[in-house]
Amino acid sequence: MLSVTAGEPHRIGRPRLRTTLVALGLVAAVLAAVLPGCDWPDGTRFVDTVFTEVDVTRDVVYRRTTDHQGQPVELRLDIYQPRGDTLTRRPAVVWMFGGAWIAGERSQMAGYAEDSARRGYVGVTIDYRIRPGSGGGDFLDAAMDAYDDAVAAVEWLKANAATYRIDARAIVAAGYSAGGINALNLLYLPGSRGPATSPVAGAVGVAGLSFATPTADDPPALMFNGTNDQIVPLRLGSAHLQRRPAGRGRLPVHAHRGRRPRDRVHPAGRHPGADRRLRLRARAHPARLPGQPTAAQLGRRRSA
């Protein structure tokens, strides 16, 4: 019971189009596993696993700021690179965890980042500000803090692109649940908050939704939403896609039923985040991510 909604790349100049398509090789990998008629030769970089080992640089401080209580915080990220890679400029995928902006940490997305690196990307996991114990009542302010942090993380990656051999024009934001919302916000909020234009080449949202309305100039997006998701219902998760300007191209929703419980990232809350058929999912990751709050825990926090 997983669905896919996707926006095709807009009509843009050839250099930018090539950059976007390379950055969204991640999207190609996902579509190859889900949509009929999509196929690539075995061993295709950005689609298949082409590296066996991954080098990880941990605990890199990308931002110093204050939390909602005015206390100083250091925000960190981990960088996953394919070992032995000789490519000088590589697309990067920034993975952001879920947890309703009240819980979670970057290690939850380690399997996704490692899987990205094995396919030839630079995988990145980031921490962003959360509000433990807040009960979710100020979720919008918390989401905006997280958005600002995500913008800062992308800007840091661009500033340090040469060090980590990242193609600064080909950075894709991705995430699960609240992290998926963060990723989509990086597409649609710039212009009204933060930078004038989106800092990323595209976004992948897993069990997320958009806070804003797309415009014709926004980069492409790919979304996965569960048809039985009781936290982010399908109608909310895919609603923004229906608001894309006519004539810019859309892919239909594809629903996959009969999923097994172990295929869910967050099974307790009927909030699916991965499917066995989608090669995007890192096999090394357990079905329930470490530190991910259960539905009962989220309920207790809301009632506190």
CA distances from residue 271 to 45, 227, 288 in whole angstroms, order as listed: 31, 10, 11
Residue 177, pLDDT above cutoff 50:
yes
Count: domains in the chain: 1
Nearest to 101 by CA among 67, 136, 73: 136
110 half-sphere exposure, CB direction, 13 A CA radius:
18
**Cα Rg for the chain, rounded, in angstroms?**
18
Q: Report pLDDT for 291.
A: 37
The backbone torsions φ and ψ at residue 275, rounded to the nearest 5 degrees and listed phi first, read: -130, 145
Would you place residue 36 in the very low, low, confident or very high pLDDT band (cuts 50, 70, 90)? very low
63 pLDDT more than 60: yes
71 against 267, higher pLDDT? 71
Query: What CATH code is carried by the domain that includes residue 70?
Result: 3.40.50.1820
pLDDT digits (tens, 9 = 90+) for 85-104: 999 999 999 999 988 888 89
- Distance, CA of 255 to CA of 200 (rounded, Å): 27
* Structural domain for 254, as ranges: 2-303
Asked whether residue 122 carries a pLDDT value surpassing 80, the answer given is yes
For 225-282, what is each residue's pLDDT tens digit? Answer: 666 666 666 666 555 555 554 434 444 444 444 343 333 333 334 555 543 333 333 3
Tokens representing 304 are 């506190």
- Please report the pLDDT score of residue 233 as a whole number: 62
Rounded-to-integer distance, Cα 109 and Cα 36, Å: 28
How many angstroms separate the CA atoms of 65 and 151, rounded? 13
Which of the residue ranges 8-17, 29-38, 195-204, 249-258 has the most confident prediction, judged by mean pLDDT?
A: 195-204
Q: What is the pTM of this model?
A: 0.74
Residue-level pLDDT at 45: 87
Structure tokens at 111: 């399997």
Q: What is the DSSP letter of 8?
A: P
